[in-house]
């Protein structure tokens, strides 16, 4: 029996308004243009997931894409392959990849094992996806997935790091790790080289009713002066329109290598301090100097900018408890 991602009971997460629009994109073209974001960045959907439960011991997954683009900083396993994962909580495990191998359509077989379990298929970071199709035995059950503990999504707005570059596979990005540990839905609005605190996107983001807004675009600000001009105004826009929205601000993790690192960190921290001084009790700040830890920090990036899997894991271990406390309090 075959099911497309457009078919019930499969659930699609991480694609805004998919249930209504049936479009696989995270940002409408007109908003891409208004925010000076390449339309392809708006069409690709890092963090998107197809979810369901099945008792099938084996299944096939077909990934259909409209693009297959080389990325100099990442392998095709990271940027062009779908991750297939089984189980949840302590039983969660990586099942493997649907690797396109230069083809726009690729089918891969997987052995899940016996028993009724959740299956999560994570989209590739870089490509425009047309469909994800699963096939199981005709007598297998296919049911809706176990609901997330936190069904309102965490919204991440940031740079290529937020987007998942350069994780070895999509499920190792910090956004994916912390959301899985929290058992929360999430939306990834990382825009490689293009996230610059554009307030023109604010109304759209708030319409998605996030549970927490993670503001993480330090890297894409071209210099400290630009960051100073945009960071607090973006926070102020969010706060003016959603007084109760929890907002978590991050500064860049690769503090040791980033030009103007200390000045930029202080700008973001000052936004936070000003908010607290004004009486805001729904704002948090994580100092990027803490994200890679203190031991072997030099081993946490691929190119002094983008985290590798170690870097993303260390970021996630710092960010997770803060988000956990925010969600438990709200």
pLDDT per residue over 10-55, tens digit each? 999 999 999 999 999 999 999 999 999 999 999 999 999 999 999 9
pLDDT recorded at residue 72? 79
pLDDT of the residue at 100 = 82
Query: Do the Cβ atoms of 102 and 70 come closer than 8 Å?
Result: no
- CA angle 273/212/271 to nearest 5° reads 15
**Tell me, what DSSP letter sits at residue 242?**
-
Pure H helices in the chain? 18-21, 29-34, 39-43, 76-79, 160-163, 174-182, 202-207, 224-241, 261-277, 309-329
**Residue 293 pLDDT:** 96
By the 8 A CB rule, do 217 and 226 touch? no
285, 272 contact by CB (below 8 A)? yes
Q: Whose CA is closest to 90, among 205, 202, 225, 180?
A: 180
User: Hey, which residues does 11 pair with through a beta bridge?
Assistant: 51
By the 8 A CB rule, do 164 and 127 touch? no
Q: Which residues of the chain are modeled with pLDDT < 50?
A: none
| CA–CA separation, 154 and 209 (whole Å) | 9
pLDDT at 71: 83
């Amino acid at each position: 029996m075959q099911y497309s991602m457009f078919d019930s009971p499969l659930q699609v997460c991480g694609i805004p308004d998919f249930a209504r629009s049936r479009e696989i994109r995270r940002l409408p073209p007109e908003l891409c243009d208004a925010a000076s974001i390449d339309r392809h960045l708006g069409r690709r959907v890092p963090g998107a997931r197809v979810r369901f439960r099945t008792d099938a011991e084996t299944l096939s997954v077909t990934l259909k894409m409209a693009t297959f683009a080389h990325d100099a900083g990442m392998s095709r396993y990271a940027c062009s392959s779908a991750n297939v994962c089984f189980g949840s909580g302590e039983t969660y495990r990586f099942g493997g990849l649907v690797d396109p191998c230069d083809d726009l359509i690729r089918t891969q077989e997987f052995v899940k094992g016996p028993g009724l379990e959740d299956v999560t298929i994570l989209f590739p970071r870089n490509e425009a996806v047309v469909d994800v199709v699963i096939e199981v035995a005709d007598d297998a059950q296919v049911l809706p997935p176990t609901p997330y503990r936190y069904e309102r999504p965490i919204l991440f707005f940031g740079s290529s790091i937020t987007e998942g570059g350069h994780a070895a596979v999509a499920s190792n990005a910090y956004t994916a790790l912390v959301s899985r540990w929290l058992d929360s839905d999430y939306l990834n609005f990382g825009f490689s080289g293009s996230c610059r605190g554009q307030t023109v996107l604010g109304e759209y983001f708030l319409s998605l009713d996030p549970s927490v807004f993670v503001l993480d675009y330090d890297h894409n600000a071209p210099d400290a002066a630009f960051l100073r001009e945009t960071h607090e105004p973006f926070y102020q826009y969010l706060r003016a329109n959603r007084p109760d929205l929890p907002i978590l601000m991050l500064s860049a993790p690769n503090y040791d290598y980033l030009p103007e690192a200390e000045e930029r960190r202080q700008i973001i921290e000052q936004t936070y301090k000003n908010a607290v001084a004004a009486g805001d009790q729904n704002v948090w700040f994580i100092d990027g100097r803490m994200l890679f830890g203190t031991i072997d920090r030099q081993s946490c990036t691929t190119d002094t900018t983008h985290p590798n899997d170690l870097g993303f894991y260390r970021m996630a271990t710092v960010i997770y408890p803060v988000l956990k406390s925010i969600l438990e309090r709200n």
